[in-house]
Amino acid sequence: LLKMVSGPAISDGLRGQLKHDEPMSRHTAWGIGGLAKAFYAPADLDDLVVFIRSQAPAAAFFWLGLGSNILVRDGGLNCTVIHTAATTDDIERNGDVVRVGAGVACPKVARYCARQGLIGLEFFAGIPGTVGGALAMNAGAFGGETWALVKRVSCVDGTGQVRTRDRDEFDAGYRTLRQPAEEWFVEAEFQLKRGSSDEGSAKVKGLLARRASTQPTGQRSCGSVFRNPPGDFAARLIESSGLKGVRIGGAEVSTKHANFIVNTGGATATDVEILIEEIQAKVLALTGVKLMREVVIVGEVAKEVG
């Protein structure tokens, strides 16, 4: 029997891959998440634009990088997911500027820059997401921050219109970004400093070693769940509230780094979400600090079956 498909249909001329009812658990770092109603992996930027135009104006999109900062609820995503990591692997150098497609993985950019002797983006080596995700989150580590190095970006809107925007059109804060319009990133240019390849590689190596010694790198997580409150650390507050190792179902507050929640196997999005709420409630009750989430929660709550 052929399954009836209720989502968007593929139009002529598209070269990417459209899937229906795609498990988001395959596309998130936690390995958790219900089905995406539709899921499009564009062949390249031109193909992405053609796809958006074929779906406009009614379509709702969710822009997915490598799913390293999202919790997709168990009821899935009732919209079309754009799988940007499939779009491009372009990186290009022009003087001290590196131009890179939004779907490229951050560690790949860090390695490229180190080889080229361009300094600034070493911290990307430990961020297991895409450049687009790093722009959207203003990802950062060890003093470095994505938007501190952005020169220009290219964005696409819901009608498929692509435009270039300067950095000063955006308002980037700690793990937040205010954009001038509802658009998504397709490309970025980073302004870097000239150094040596040895210097870049040594910095990358040092940063990765620091990470491995303090974070549960071998387990499924989304990195830091909460933002650090001003002048303090979320991990310190969680640990001092006695929450290290606390579990809900398969979700556990990491015993190595208290601001990480790990999927010890079989965790549902509901397990993680309840654990997040319990951490917030206990830390607030014991320390008076309201922890703000860094992880983005999307999707529908699963309907009860039976």
Per CB under 6 A, residues contacting ligand FAD are 29, 62-70, 84, 102, 126-130, 132-134, 136-137, 139-141, 184-185, 221-223, 296
What is the number of the residue whose Cβ is closest to ligand FAD? 65
Q: Which residue's entry shows tokens 């290290």?
A: 244
Q: How far is CA 119 from CA 61, 106, 204, 206, in A?
A: 35, 14, 10, 14
The nearer residue to ligand FAD, 63 or 170, going by C-beta atoms, is: 63
Least CB distance from residue 26 to ligand FAD, whole Å? Answer: 13
Residue in 25, 68, 154, 224 annotated catalytic: 224
Least CB distance from residue 248 to ligand FAD, whole Å? Answer: 19
The nearer residue to ligand FAD, 29 or 269, going by C-beta atoms, is: 29
Is residue 175 annotated as a catalytic residue, yes or no?
Answer: yes
Residue in 111, 175, 189, 252 annotated catalytic: 175
The nearer residue to ligand FAD, 218 or 288, going by C-beta atoms, is: 218
Least CB distance from residue 265 to ligand FAD, whole Å? Answer: 17
The nearer residue to ligand FAD, 224 or 241, going by C-beta atoms, is: 224
Distance of CA 226 to the CA centre of its chain: 14
* Coil/strand/helix, residue 179: coil
Q: Which residues are the active-site residues?
A: 175, 224, 294
